[in-house]
Amino acid sequence: MSLIRKIDSALIPAIALILIATIVLAFANPSFFTLVFAAEDGPVEYATALFLLIASIVLATHAASLWRSGRRGAAGLTVFYALLFFMAAGEEISWGQRIVGWESDEFFQQNNKQYETNLHNLVVGDVHLTKSLFGPVLTICILLYLVGLPLVYPKGGRIAALADRMAVPVPWMKHAVIALVASIIIAVLDVERKWEVYELIFSMVVLSIFLIPQNPGKTR
């Protein structure tokens, strides 16, 4: 078994263990869940940033392979995907601001809900971007990608052709099942900061997809 397959095989049981730990802690010790497990600068948040960063690196290696094979347009798109995940990793930990301890400039002091240097906590007028864009809208897009695409892609047609042309790594059904199960579990739990775990699960699922997508010949 190749190293990539070993890593992918380890991700799925790791996700299951995290979901089990989430359920147990949410019911048995919600204070520990909120103040330690899923806390700001806690293990869940840092793990999310790490997996998003690794996902970005994997995409960057795919972009290099696509470039060498002459698919320059697909390579450019994949670089864009890699940059998105790199930004997501940085945003997750406010670009290391709390680690290093530097102060936000005046703009972020006045317009960021947490006074940090990141985009997802910006407040524009009365609009909080996390709630209006990075929340429900992004969640719907993610679920369409994780659940809708693996159902449609095997049937071929325009959507499958477009996904291949744009070098979009297509999830497998196992990823769709994990996404649905995780969505249901997180939705029914009544504990603060539960969505931090949802972000961690997403970061692990997409890494699994990028490592071994349904369409590897079209994405790297």
What pLDDT, in 10s, does the model give residues 87-110?
Answer: 999 888 877 777 776 676 666 666
pLDDT band of residue 118 (cuts 50, 70, 90) is low
Asked whether residue 168 is domain-assigned, the answer is yes
pLDDT more than 90, % of the chain: 69
Domain count, the chain: 1
Beta-carbon contacts of residue 219 (< 8 Å; ≥ 6 apart):
62, 66, 74, 78, 167, 168, 169, 213
Asked whether residue 139 is domain-assigned, the answer is yes
In angstroms, the CA 26 to CA 37 distance is 10
Beta bridge partners of 128: 123
Asked whether residue 100 is domain-assigned, the answer is no
Q: pLDDT tens-digit profile of 132-173?
A: 555 667 778 888 899 999 999 999 899 999 999 999 999 999
pTM: 0.89
In angstroms, the CA 133 to CA 156 distance is 31
Residue 162 one-letter amino acid:
L
Which residue range(s) make up the domain with 178? 11-51+135-219
Beta-carbon contacts of residue 124 (< 8 Å; ≥ 6 apart):
111
Asked whether residue 150 is domain-assigned, the answer is yes
Average pLDDT over residues 58-72: 95
Asked whether residue 155 is domain-assigned, the answer is yes
Asked whether residue 5 is domain-assigned, the answer is no
Asked whether residue 25 is domain-assigned, the answer is yes
pLDDT band of residue 114 (cuts 50, 70, 90) is low
Asked whether residue 126 is domain-assigned, the answer is no
Residue whose C-alpha is closest to residue 25's, from 178, 192, 177: 192
